[in-house]
Structure 1
């Protein structure tokens, strides 16, 4: 009879995600992960195979949570433009309120791709694609409701909004307040 696992893998992935998000992939050591997960190195490698494999699981977990949260925010009642504004403002406020100024794990990973490799790039691309898909769906809803210019391509608008979100995550890491991010949100939504 084998020994039972001493930890819950889902909880371990969440804990690892927090470490990677705070420190970045390259700066996170196996010892950092062992300390955060409360397991031995042998158990870490037995359960996850490698630091990179655990990172990919953590990145997927992060991406799933972010896409689901954005989709949920955009399902709120009310005019689409108001929902988009509220979602962007919530993202900005969340980034600005983070005492560690971590930004977005997917965006941070895209800046660190030389360290994390092609598999991580594919995960980040998937996160961005899914965010863009959520944005496109809400833009199409706005067009059907007559809120947005029907001549504008919903995919182009969604791509532009994705770029706004990525840029806001980067800018929030050095912001000394919400003013710049609020101006970006206003500028992004004006032409809709």
Structure 2
């Protein structure tokens, strides 16, 4: 007869996510995860299969929360420039108000784990695709309202803005201050004014 799991899986994933986000994959030991979750090594392996399995679950949790929140911000009514600026400045604020400057777990994973970790790559790729789709939808709405030129290449603009997001996350983790990062946001948004190539 199988033993009943005696711990809260969601709480374990949340605790592991915080550890991985703070320390990274390589610098996090199984003992770190045991201490953070309060769950024995054997139980962690039984529930998640491996450190990689727990990392993938933690990364998926982070991606859902982070990209889900961004998609909600992008789905708000209002001029597309204001909606995009609200998203980007919100990310700047998240970065500069985090005393540990952990950055973004999606970006951190892309730098630390890819391409050698295909499972993490699928989570990262899915998160970036979802963010790109949300930015593209916001830009299409703006174009339909006449806020962008009718022939604006919204797919290219979305790719550029998502790449800007990743750069903001890296610069913020490296210590760039609010003023510098906000200047990057405002400079990036000028692309919306550029005539088509």
Q: TM-score range by the shorter chain?
A: over 0.9
SS in 2 for 1:77: coil
TM-score of the superposed pair, with normalisation by structure 2: 0.92
Q: Residues 25 and 115 of structure 1 are in contact (CA less than 8 Å); yes or no, is this contact kept in structure 2? A: no
Separation in 2 of the partners of 1:17 and 1:103?
Answer: 13
| TM-superposed deviation, 1:167 | 0.1
The unaligned stretches of length 5 or more in structure 1 are none
How is 1:86-125 mapped onto 2 (pairs within 5 angstroms)?
86-113=86-113, 117-125=117-125
Instruction: Check whether the contact 2:109–2:124 (CA below 8 A) recurs between aligned residues.
Output: yes
Separation in 2 of the partners of 1:25 and 1:149?
44
Checking the alignment, whether the CA contact within 8 Å between 1:80 and 1:141 is kept in structure 2 is: yes
The aligned residue for residue 160 of structure 1 is 160
User: Could you say which residue in structure 2 is the equivalent of 1:50?
Assistant: 50
- CA offset digits 1:134-153 (Å, max 9, x no partner): 11010101101111122221
How far does residue 84 in structure 1 lie from its aligned partner after superposition?
0.7
Evaluate the alpha carbon distance shift between residue 128 and residue 97 of structure 1 in structure 2; reply closer, same or farther with a 3 A threshold.
same
Q: How big is the alpha-carbon RMSD for the aligned residues of Structure 1 and Structure 2?
A: 1.5
2:157, 2:115 → 1: CA distance? Answer: 32
Deviation at 1:123? 1.5
More moved, 70-79 vs 104-113: 70-79
- 1:176 offset after TM fit, Å? 4.6
Shift in CA distance, 61/54, structure 1 to aligned 2, threshold 3 Å: same
- Cα distance change, pair 129–114 in 1 and its aligned pair in 2 (3 A): closer
8 Å Cα contact 1:103-1:173 kept in structure 2: yes
Equivalent residue number for residue 73 of structure 1: 73
1:157 CA displacement: 0.5
Return 84-93 or 176-185, whichever deviates more: 176-185
Aligned twin of 2:195: none
Aligned to 1:140: 140
Q: How far apart, CA to CA, are the structure 2 residues paired with 1:178 and 1:96?
A: 6
Structure 2: which 5+ runs fail to align?
Answer: 193-197
CA contact (8 A) 2:114 2:121 kept: no
CA distance in 2 between counterparts of 1:27 and 1:136 reads: 36
Q: Hey, what's the Cα distance between the residues in 1 that align with 2:138 and 2:72?
A: 11
* Structure 2 CA distance for partners of 1:152 and 1:115, relative to 1, 3 Å: closer
1-structure distance, mates of 2:7, 2:155? 43
More deviation in 159-168 or 174-183?
174-183
Deviation at 1:174, TM superposition (A): 2.2
1:6 CA drift (Å): 2.0
